[in-house]
Amino acid sequence: MHEAVIIVSVMETVTGDPGTGEDGWRAIPADLGEDGGTILSERQLQLWTLVLQARTVPYRSAPCGTGWQLLVPLEAYPLALGELRQYEERNRNWPPPAPVTPVQYNNTLVTLSVLLLLATFHNITQLDASRFGYRYVDWYAIGSADAARMLDGEWWRAVTALTLHANWLHLFSNLTIGGFFIVCLCRELGSGVAWCLLLCSGILGNAANTLVQQPDHVSVGASTAVFAAVGSLAAISVVRYRQFPSKRWTLPAAAALALLGLLGTEGTQTDLGAHFFGFLFGIGFGLGGEFLINRYGRPGPLVNALLVLAGAGTVVAAWGVAIVYV
């Protein structure tokens, strides 16, 4: 209502060309020059009136043709023009252009195939190989993240525990909920980079968890790597959109913390420490991965393939040492 009153009064006091200053007011040029046109867009009018308000410069606004005019008293004209020029100079290149979102990798089938292998391995651990003439292997005894044994030097357990699950429900939750985040991460970084990132985060997460747990603590599951995926995706979003509040880069980070609180602490047998450290290392590796990609570019198919083989080789080697050792 107040704005409407101002506009009416301006229309009553402005006669002829509002830019001539015949009534003691002068219109601000749209290009802030001396003799430019004085018609402003609505957005430009709103920004400039805020600048003048902040500097306590009196002004009036009036509709004119297809736009608006911003008028100031003749004695305040030099001050208003100087303030607006300073504002435009300081904000000439702001906000910076939004970063171009990289084209995502089309590797969903590859990622799901790895998850299927994880489910297949779970079936193998449930079989009694002694029925077929092979030596019985207690996969959980030799591969779980047993804190006392890990502190005693059985380092491979930090790797092998990621491939074991207590039951089908445990496996299913990791494959469904975790699979979604892992697929997203692989599409962002590529399968090789993403899986190596998850493997390193999971290994370090299990190792760090061992240091804060009691010696009788034993855990299994890929959830450490799942929460690493959540942390990595949040970190990547923060890096890409750190200068763009309008992109709401804080939402992925808040969602990640909410997921950690919701799923990471639910259940009496939930290993909160493994989830937390996986999430923490995931953030670190996510930041590092995004930095390297920004600096050196995204890895090609050959590099991704080599990284996938390196990750798979690490898991196979760890199980080989576990079986030979016992």
Active-site positions read: 223, 275
Q: Within a 13 Å sphere around the CA of 225, how many CA atoms are in the beta-carbon half?
A: 32
CA-CA distance, 297 to 291, in Å (whole number)? Answer: 9
CA-CA distance, 82 to 225, in Å (whole number)? Answer: 57
Q: Contact, 298 vs 182, CB < 8 A?
A: no
In single-letter form, the type of residue at position 127 comes to L
DSSP notation for 88-134: HHHTTT-SPPPPPPPPPP--HHHHHHHHHHHHHHHHHHHS-GGGGTS
Residue in the block written with tokens 């502190």: 151
Closest by Cα among 65, 3, 60, 2 to 27: 60
Measured from the Cβ of residue 108, the count of other Cβ atoms closer than 10 Å reads 14
